[in-house]
Chain A
C-alpha cells in the first residue's frame, strides 16, 4: 500500500512492521514524530509491545540493552545530543552483542544550539561497534529498519539507521508500506540463544582479565566481517521479497566517469541531479553513494572508483584538525590500491542547503586542479 509520509513516520512504520517488542525512547527534535507515532500505535494495540518512556537517552539505551538481553526485539530513536549521551552504552550494546536497532536523525552538535542536519553526531559513534546505514529516501528508511533486524539478529551486532534531519525526517515522500505477511516471512521472530534465562542461568559481561578480553574483541570484528556478507546477501533476499534493492554502496554513472563525487545521505540524490545536468553538457561525472559506514565496504569502494581520474568526497561533517570523515574512510580504502587524486570538500554543516549548483561548482574547481593543493576545501563559507 502506497502512502505519503514523512521520514520519521517511515521509521515508526518500519519498527511496527518489524514487530519490535520493547521501545524505550526520549524525545529530541527532530526525532519526536518517530516516538509519537509509535506510542499511538502501541496504545492502540496495533503493535503488541512495551513502550518505556524513559527519562533520558542514556536510560533509553540501557532499557534496550536490558530488553534485548532478555530476548526481546528492542528499538529506539534519537538525534545529536541524545546520541552523544548514549555513547557509553553504544559500546555496551555492541560489546554485549545485542541486535538492537536504532534510528538516528542526523542533527548537528551544539554549541551553538542547532536542530538542523549534519553527520557529526553519528560519525562520532563510528568506533562503537554499531553498523551504520545511511539512507537517502523515506522508502529506504522504512526498508532499512526491517532489513537491519534481519542482519543484526544473524550476526548479533546492533544497527543504526541514519537519516538527515528535516531534508528526510520531516519531508513527505511516497512510501510503499509492505504487507505484514511479507515482512513476517522475511523477518522471523527474534529467538535469542543467549538470553537471560532462569532455567539456565548465566552471567553476562562480568569482569574479564587480559587473558580473555581480546578474544571477545576478535569475535566482534569477525561478526562485522560476517555482517558485510549478510548485508550483501540480504540486498538480494530483500529485493526478492519486496522488489527494492539496497547495496553497501550505490554507484551512478561511475564506469566511464572521469570525476566521481562520493556522497552520503540526501546530498547523494542532489549530487545525482547535478551529475545528470553535467552529463547533458558532456562532462563525464558520476556519483558513488555510501550507504554503509560500518562494516566498511572496502572492495566495493575500490571497484567503483577504479576508473576515476579524480575522486571528490563531499563531507557533511568534519573531524577537527583532520578533514572530512568519509574522506578519511575512502582514502584509507584506496591507499595502496589506487593513485587517483582525492579531493575533500566540506559542505552543508548545521543544515546549510547543498544545491545541485554546489556540486557543479565543486567539479569546476577540481577540473582546474591536477591534485589537491589543500587537505580540505570549504564550500560556500562566509568570509
Chain B
C-alpha cells in the first residue's frame, strides 16, 4: 500500500501531549505538509507544554514562544524580518489554541488578516482553556461542562463563529480541518503554502481530559464532529466555499455528544436544542458551498 502522507517526521515522539491529544496529531500532520523551511511562534497554549521543557523541544523547526495575545503580530514581525533579510521563501506560522485565537488573540488576528500579512495562522481548537484546567472559552460549544460552566450552569452560549469572523476579512485562503482526516489537512496546507497572503487554518482537536472522553476515541470524535455537521470541513479559496469532506447523510449529534462526559448532564430536550442549532448552522453554510 502506498502511504498517503510523507513518512518524514518533523515532530519527535518525546513530546508531552496527553494520551489521545488531538493537538499533537494536528502538528504532526501539518509539519509533513509544511516541511523544514518553516518557523513557528506559539502563544500560551497546550503546545507551550507539549513541545517540552527547556532545554528540550520535540520539533525540528525553529520556534519562538510568545505571549498569549500576540501570535498573529509576532508571526507578522518574523515574516517582515525574513522579507527584509531576503529569505522570503520560508513559511511563517502562528500556532495557537482556541483561547489564544477566539478570545485574547482576536485583535492581533484581525489586524494581521486585515493587513493580509503573508503568514499561516493555525488554530488547534480543543474548545476550552485546557492548559489551565478546562475553563470555558469563546470556542466552547453550547451545553458543555467546563470548570467555569459547572453542570448546574452549563454553557448557555453558542460557540463563536471564528471562521465567519475571519471570512469577513476576505483573506486569500482559509480552511477548517479535522484530525480524523489527515490527508485532507495535508492537501489544504500544500495548496495554501503557495498562496501569498493570510491563511487561516482551523483544526478541531479533541481533548480527552477536557472533553471527558476516552483517549482511544479521539479520532472517532474528530470524525463524528464532521459527520454530524457540528464541525463542517471546508475551505474558502479566494472567496469560494468548497466542502472538502462531504456529509450527505448527517449522523445525529447524540452519537458525538454521548461519547463525552462534558455533555452527560444534558437532557433529551437539550440534545434536541443542540440538534436544531447544528441543523440551522449547517443549512446556512450549505448555501455557501459550491461545486458540491
Contact = CB atoms under 8 A, between A and B. Distances in A.
Interface in A37-71: 48-50, 52-56, 58-60, 62-71
Contacts of B57: 202-203, 206
A86 to B, nearest CB: 11
Nearest to B83: A50
Interface in B84-140: 84-85, 90, 107-108, 110-111, 114-115, 117
Interface stretch (B59-67, B147-155, B219-227, B264-272): B59-67
A206 B66 contact: no
B110 A55 contact: yes
Interface stretch (B47-55, B177-185, B206-214): B47-55
A88 interface: yes
Interface residues of A, number: 42
Given A58-B70, A65-B74, A206-B48, A21 B37 contact: no
A62 B73 contact: yes
B257 interface: no
B75 interface: yes
A155 interface: no
A24 interface: yes
A68 B80 CA distance: 10
A67 B81 contact: yes
Contacts of A293: none
A40 B65 CA distance: 33
Interface stretch (A156-164, A207-215, A249-257): A207-215
Contacts, number: 161
Interface stretch (A8-16, A193-201, A230-238, A332-340): A193-201
B110 A204 contact: no
B108 A201 contact: no
Max chain A CB contacts within 10 Å: which of B38, B69, B77, B85? B77
A55 B77 CA distance: 13
A207 to B, nearest CB: 5
B229 to A, nearest CB: 34
A224 interface: no
A88 B43 CA distance: 13
A205 interface: yes
A207 B74 CA distance: 18
B174 interface: no
Given A63-B77, A69-B78, A198 B36 contact: yes
A203 B62 CA distance: 6
B108 A59 contact: yes
Given A207-B48, A212-B54, A50 B66 contact: no
Contacts of B75: 66
B63 A64 contact: no
Contacts of B73: 24, 52, 54, 58-60, 62-63, 66
B41 interface: yes
A72 interface: yes
Nearest to B39: A196
B81 A59 contact: no
B80 A52 contact: yes
Contacts of B37: 198
Interface of B: 36-39, 41, 48-49, 51-57, 59-67, 69-70, 72-85, 90, 107-108, 110-111, 114-115, 117
Q: Return the 3 tightest CB-CB contacts between A and B, nearest first.
A: A66-B77, A55-B111, A63-B77
Interface of A: 21-22, 24, 48-50, 52-56, 58-60, 62-72, 74, 88-89, 92, 196-198, 201-209, 212
